[in-house]
Amino acid sequence: MSSVGHHGLGYSLLYPYQGFWFTDPVLESIKDFQQNLKALDSDLILASQPKSGTTWMKALAFAIANRTRYPIFSSSHPLLTTSPHDLVPFADFKHFHKEHSLLDYTNTSSQDLPSRLIATHLPYPLLPESVKDGATKCKIVYICRNPRDTFVSVWHFMNKIGDNKKSGTPLSIEDAFEYFCDGVSDFGPYWDHVLGYWKESLASPHKVLFVKYEDLMNEPETQVKKLAEFLGYGFSVEEESRGVIKEIISLCSFQHLKNLDANKQEQSGDNFLAHNKDFFRKGEVGDWKNYLTPTMVERLDSLTKEKLQGSGLAF
């Protein structure tokens, strides 16, 4: 990876900063987040790489952590009328969007919500010091997705943004693939991002929970229970028998969220260049089969094997 200069990525330019790649517009927000967030013990940080299931995790964590204030079975639950991205804002895009109380870092109250939920695509080493500091009891959930599906989702999304901006020609899958394999992806390299959180989840399991998109898809109840316990909002036996876990899963499911008016909108309050609907494409495990050639799969798999070697993490 080159340490200077920038790369054109169809819709935007990526710049290296502290060992990772970022679009120029987010750098200001990132520095603000790094310098000004004073994490509270009750803070919940939702971390991910783009296209790894962030929207899903935002919805799940919001539903879980706020279920006393917003009962899951209520017909006026905020997730029915508001995009998960507006309920759980990205620190990384703060400077582009309307004011969001949870991103006012000088305000240390939780706005009468039980916990502040803050989302970020920042790699672990770049998180604000107060988040990483062992003295702060805030928690970090990292959602990760296999590299094949992540790449395919990234490629679709980049071209969507290009369309939204009405700029440039679409990026071919071959060119996008070269960039991705070279580590040049938004908030990437992919493997470095994943490894940072993976290692931290092993070293401090009470502080960092590592969740795989595929596991969430395959065994939602087990994963959602684990997630709730980790966040400090575990389910009671009574809740379990009332079907609260199942209801959360169905409230936050791809098919349900995708078809809500709030998530079909062209405009979004809190997302840079992306429309709410752009966050819902197919929502499946294994869509890579429809896009990657055997040669691409071989290259991506061998790169992944090489990069993750010895870490204990595999896809």
Is the Cβ of residue 163 or residue 287 nearer to ligand A3P in the bound state?
Answer: 287
| Rounded-to-integer distance, Cα 48 and Cα 141, Å | 8
Query: Please, which residue, 241 or 290, has the CB nearer to ligand A3P?
Result: 290
User: Which of 29/48 has CB closer to ligand A3P?
Assistant: 48
Quote the least distance from Cβ 172 to ligand A3P, whole Å: 17
Least gap, CB of 286 to ligand A3P (angstroms): 10
What's the min distance (Å) between Cβ of 4 and ligand A3P? Answer: 29
Count CA atoms within 13 Å of residue 17 on its CB side. Answer: 20
CB of 215 to ligand A3P, least distance (A): 12
Nearer to ligand A3P, 192 or 287 (CB): 287
- Residue placing its CB nearer to ligand A3P in the complex, 105 or 249: 249
Give the three-state DSSP class for 92: helix
The residue written with tokens 């969507």 in the block is: 160
Shortest distance, position 289 Cβ to ligand A3P, whole Å: 12
How many other C-beta atoms can be found within 10 angstroms of the C-beta atom of residue 259? 10
Instruction: Write down the least CB distance from residue 212 to ligand A3P, Å.
Output: 12
Judged by beta carbon, residue 198 or residue 288, the one nearer ligand A3P is: 288
- Residue identified by tokens 């028998």 is 241
Residues with Cβ within 8 Å of residue 296, at least 6 apart in sequence: 177
Distance CA 87, CA 117 (A): 9
- Catalytic one among 121, 156, 256, 275? 121
Q: What is the 3-state secondary structure (H, E, C) of 251-315?
A: HCCHHHHHCCHHHHCCCCCCCCCCCHHHHCCCCCCCHHHHCCCHHHHHHHHHHHHHHHCCCCCCC
Helices (H), the chain: 24-36, 54-65, 84-87, 129-132, 147-165, 173-181, 190-203, 213-218, 220-231, 237-242, 244-251, 254-258, 261-264, 294-308
Has 206 been annotated as catalytic? no
Dihedral sign (CA 243, 245, 248, 249): negative
In the DSSP assignment, the letter for residue 11 is S
Nearer to ligand A3P (CB atom), residue 53 or residue 188: 53
Residues at the interface with ligand A3P (CB under 6 A): 48, 50-56, 149, 153, 156, 252-254, 257, 279-283, 287
* Tokens matching residue 187: 């908030």
Cα 25 to the center of its chain, rounded Å: 18
Beta carbon of residue 224, minimum distance to ligand A3P (angstroms, whole number): 12
Report d(CA 305, CA 315) in Å as an integer.
Answer: 9
The residues that are catalytic are 121
